[in-house]
Amino acid sequence: MAHEHEHEHEFILEIPEFEHLSYEVEEGIALVTLRRPEALNALSQDLLQELAEVAEVIHQDPEVRVTIFTGEGKAFAAGADLKEIAALKDPFMAREYALLGQQVFAEIAALPLPTIAAINGYALGGGLELALACDLRVASREAKLGLPEVGLGLIPGFGGTQRLPRLIGRGRALDLIFTGRHVSAEEALSLGLVNRVGEDALEEAKKLAQKIMKNAPIALALAKESVVRGEGLDLAEALEIEADLFGYASATEDMKEGVRAFLEKRAPNFKGE
Ligand code: CAA
Q: Domain segments of the chain: what residues? A: 21-213, 217-264
CATH 3.90.226.10 fits 21-213, yes or no: yes
Mean pLDDT within 245-269: 97
- Is residue 129 annotated as a catalytic residue, yes or no? yes
Phi, psi of 117 (to 5 degrees): -90, 120
Characterize the bridge pairing of strands 136-140 and 183-184.
unpaired
Q: Same CATH fold, 217-264 and 21-213?
A: no
Q: To test the ligand 1 pocket, which listed residue (34, 40, 93, 120) has its Cβ within 8 A of the most ligand atoms?
A: 40
- In this structure, the dihedral spanned by the alpha carbons of residues 35, 38, 40 and 46, taken in order and rounded to 10 degrees, is -50
Decide which of 240 and 15 is more confident: 240
Find out whether the beta carbon of 100 lies less than 6 Å from any atom of ligand 1. no
Confidence of residue 5 (pLDDT cuts 50, 70, 90): low
Instruction: Look at residue 217 in the predicted model and tell me its pLDDT.
Output: 96
Instruction: Look at residue 10 in the predicted model and tell me its pLDDT.
Output: 62
Find out whether the beta carbon of 40 lies less than 6 Å from any atom of ligand 1. yes
Q: To test the ligand 1 pocket, which listed residue (82, 147, 184) has its Cβ within 8 A of the most ligand atoms?
A: 82
Residues 127-146 as b or e (16 or more Cβ within 10 Å = b): bbbbbbbbbbbbbbeebbbb
Cα(121) to centroid(ligand 1), Å: 12
Mean pLDDT within 2-8: 52
Cα(19) to centroid(ligand 1), Å: 20
Instruction: Look at residue 158 in the predicted model and tell me its pLDDT.
Output: 98
From the list 53, 107, 149, 204, the catalytic residue is: 149
Which residue in 197, 207, 191, 211 sits closest to 137, CA to CA? 197
CB 118 within 8 A of CB 135: no
Atom of ligand 1 nearest to the CA of 74: 29
Which residue in 189, 126, 194, 114 sits closest to 161, CA to CA? 126
Instruction: Look at residue 232 in the predicted model and tell me its pLDDT.
Output: 87
Mean pLDDT within 80-103: 96
CB 245 within 8 A of CB 239: no
Which residue in 226, 227, 271, 218 sits closest to 249, CA to CA? 218
Q: Whose CA is nearest to atom 53 of ligand 1?
A: 156
CB 74 within 8 A of CB 122: yes
Task: Indicate if the pLDDT at residue 205 is higher than 90.
Answer: yes
Q: Whose CA is nearest to atom 15 of ligand 1?
A: 39
Q: Give residue-wise pLDDT tens across range 7-44.
A: 555 677 888 899 999 999 999 999 999 999 999 999 99
Instruction: Look at residue 2 in the predicted model and tell me its pLDDT.
Output: 46
Find out whether the beta carbon of 83 lies less than 6 Å from any atom of ligand 1. yes
Global pTM value? 0.95
Cα(82) to centroid(ligand 1), Å: 7
CATH number of 217-264: 1.10.12.10
- Is residue 8 annotated as a catalytic residue, yes or no? no
Q: Whose CA is nearest to atom 28 of ligand 1?
A: 40
Confidence of residue 1 (pLDDT cuts 50, 70, 90): very low
From the list 129, 240, 257, 264, the catalytic residue is: 129
DSSP string, the chain: ---GGGGGSSS----PPPSSEEEEEETTEEEEEE--GGGTT-B-HHHHHHHHHHHHHHHH-TT-SEEEEEESTTEEE--B-HHHHHT--SHHHHHHHHHHHHHHHHHHHT-SS-EEEEE-SEEETHHHHHHHHSSEEEEETT-EEE--GGGGT----SSHHHHHHHHH-HHHHHHHHHH-PPEEHHHHHHHTS-SEEESSHHHHHHHHHHHHHTS-HHHHHHHHHHHHHHTTS-HHHHHHHHHHHHHHHHTSHHHHHHHHHHHTTS-------
Instruction: Look at residue 8 in the predicted model and tell me its pLDDT.
Output: 56
Question: What is the spatial order of strands in the sheet that 66-71 belongs to?
Answer: 21-26, 29-34, 66-71, 115-119, 136-140, 196-198
In percent, the amount of the chain with pLDDT more than 70 equals: 96
Q: What is the mean pLDDT of the chain?
A: 95
